[in-house]
Amino acid sequence: MSLFIHSVQRFKKIVFLFSMTAFMGISSATMAQKYAYVNTQYILDNMTEYKTAQQQLDNMSIQWQKDIEDKYSIVDKLYKAYQAEQILLTEEMKKKRQDEITAKEKDVKDLQKQRFGYEGDLFKKKQDLVKPIQDKVFNAVKKLATDQGFAVIFDKSGDLIMLYANPKYDKSDDILLALGYKPGKKEGGDSKTGTGSGTTKTPRTSEPNKSEDQPKK
């Protein structure tokens, strides 16, 4: 599992910028310095606290999505009832029912935006749960670079394209051990586990089917 949509991508960019800043500071006389790389996604996927945070986000997302779907279901029932009864309603009664349906639909859309929109509740919760873990990993990378004299540590899971990387320079397991976690299994010599990215996806909700008789908004 993973939850990087905004926060993880931002974290990778920070690690990448840290690496490139260090790289740009190296003069031509010191180009022989040591380099290494890590895979932050692999590291996070093997951290228990990251998996726990991911599970909390998934559970929260599922519950919020259910609440929104239930509210859309109510709107749909109101609209179908209106369609079936409108021939018996006066113009005033029609207007009242239309306004009621429109208001409830707006409330659901507002809630959906509040929960899953840009910088909404889910995004903020991700920041609260993931940032401390990101900081811990970044500080461990920085300490390893300082202690072992690495001029640059690249992030293999970041924006930097690595066509080939010798596994002996992969310090991902060193970071996990420094953080107190057991390294995971790497497949095919690549610093990725079989857990996948596991990105929490923002659910999309279907709105009620409406014909031309839908109340005007």
The domain that holds 144 is classified in CATH as 3.30.910
pLDDT score of 61 more than 50: yes
Residue 168: which pLDDT band, with cuts at 50, 70 and 90?
A: confident
The residue segments making up the domain with residue 108 are 63-116
Query: Is the same domain home to 74 and 163?
Result: no
Query: Is the same domain home to 69 and 171?
Result: no
Query: Is the same domain home to 15 and 45?
Result: yes
Q: Residue 77 domain-assigned?
A: yes
Query: Is the same domain home to 31 and 75?
Result: no
Residue 211: which pLDDT band, with cuts at 50, 70 and 90?
A: very low
Q: Residue 19 domain-assigned?
A: yes
Q: What is the mean pLDDT of the chain?
A: 78
Rounded mean pLDDT, 79-90? 94
Give, for 108, the enclosing helix (H) or strand (E): helix 91-116
Six-digit token string for 170: 């992969």
Q: Residue 136 domain-assigned?
A: yes
The better pLDDT of the pair 211, 152 is held by: 152
Query: Is the same domain home to 48 and 77?
Result: no
Tally of domains within the chain: 2
- Least confident segment among 17-26, 84-93, 109-118, 159-168: 17-26
The Cα 153–Cα 22 span in angstroms is 9
pLDDT score of 52 more than 80: yes
* Of 76, 94, 116, the domain-final residue: 116
Percent of the chain with pLDDT over 90: 53
The Cα 57–Cα 1 span in angstroms is 11
The Cα 215–Cα 217 span in angstroms is 6
Query: Is the same domain home to 112 and 67?
Result: yes
Amino acid at the residue 216: K
The Cα 15–Cα 21 span in angstroms is 10
Q: Residue 185 domain-assigned?
A: no
Rounded mean pLDDT, 201-205? 42
The Cα 131–Cα 151 span in angstroms is 25
Cβ(165)–Cβ(174) below 8 Å: no
Cβ(203)–Cβ(5) below 8 Å: no
Give, for 155, the enclosing helix (H) or strand (E): strand 150-155
pLDDT score of 117 more than 90: yes
Six-digit token string for 113: 């935006």
- Least confident segment among 60-64, 122-126, 202-206: 202-206
In this prediction, residue 207 carries a pLDDT of 46
- Cα 12 to the chain's mean position, in Å? 13
Query: Is the same domain home to 39 and 76?
Result: no
Query: Is the same domain home to 142 and 161?
Result: yes
Give the residues across from 170 on adjacent strands: 37
Q: Residue 217 domain-assigned?
A: no
